[in-house]
Chains A and B, each alone.
Chain A
Amino acid sequence: MSVDSTPLDGPVAASPRADFVADFASSKTAVFGAVLLLAFVVVALLAPWLVPQDPYDLAKLDILDARLPPGSPSGDGAMHYLLGTDSQGRDMLSAIAYGLRISVAIGVLSTLCAALIGITLGLVAGYAGGRIESLIMRIADMQLSFPSILIALILLAFLRPGLGNIVAALIAVQWAYYARAVRGTALVERRKEYIEAARGLGLSTARIVFRHLLPNCLPPLVVVATLQIASAIALEATLSFLGLGVPITEPSLGLLIANGFQVLFAGKYWISVYPGIALVLLIVALNLVADRLRDLLDPKLRSR
């Protein structure tokens, strides 16, 4: 039962970072997810240079090219619509690439801001304790007891659809996760000796919190953040699908899917299905990576 199997003077890790990468890569599905994710990020960043058509430039669209199946040539023969066109004559491939851009941008931006706000509040709550902690946590818990989609829905009901508004709604929905996660870790860490030592040295509270406490609370947050990006992207897609998300002038993947919903039954599947596949792959990739990160960063699961 009580077998001590750690070597007393075993080899020291060559480089923790290289070890981490090697550990991560030992799962094929995780590598697949990471590669996929990278591909999507590249497409999102370089979309304008990668795709044949700017889907937002109304002047370039030809309504006569609407709803063409995948592989059809354009009316003027200048290009082939590899994935078909939508109801406005937009090249699906380009629309998807741009939609990816919006989806990723919204997901990452909202997550980062929510993380910033949530982590700060969580650290403050965890470190300060007392009334401040109660207040912040009470609000966070109340919010967390409601399904996020409901909160987002109501917020967007007031703030009408718009890019900034949907990011704001997503931030409002997400900050509480970070606050709670960080506060939990902060509560544990603040009793540890290195914090005592820092206080003994007379360091300012801000310095203690941000330079000493924060780095030790971060590893589990990386997992949370990755999952949250996926969840934000999914939520934005859902809201856009319901007509409450991004404006129709700059469609994200969700809105593209919604646009094709009506003609789905008429057999013109490509307008919904391809953006849908892109969305799903993006989310799955994020989840695969997050899953692997969790396995590596959570000390309790280290044995597998």
Chain B
Amino acid sequence: MPELTPIQEALEANFPCLAGKVVVPRPMQAFVEVPEESFRAVFDYALEKLGFDRLCTITGFDDVNSLSVLYHLSHPDGNMLNIRRRAPRDNPVITTVTDRFPGGANYERELEDLLGFEVTGLPKGPRYPLPDNFPTDIKPLRKDWKPPQPKKTAP
């Protein structure tokens, strides 16, 4: 059995629900899926105790049966921790992390615009990245949305 990295050890020791769930597929990259009720506690622990001080980006997914979000955090020592949370497809409501990372507002607006998440606590602002007149019921990064194909090609 491979040796656990310090990040794996710390997360599994402090959060029993993560036992065996922290995956390190390659050096300096850890992935963990966190139950929704523990997300904020794990996220704050990663920031305050493990020292992951930069939110690199947030990636949203349409996993067909549900939607999920991956928070990519980085540490000054070069390690990266990717924390995944899941939300039901018909009611994808998640809480904001802009109280900890104000620079992450646009990443969360992308989740709203492109995948249809509702991010509670996200400060008001213009939509991003779609234009103001883009239909609000179309969520382009959902798997069931196919972009219209052009009828003719440019000369």
Partners in one complex: no
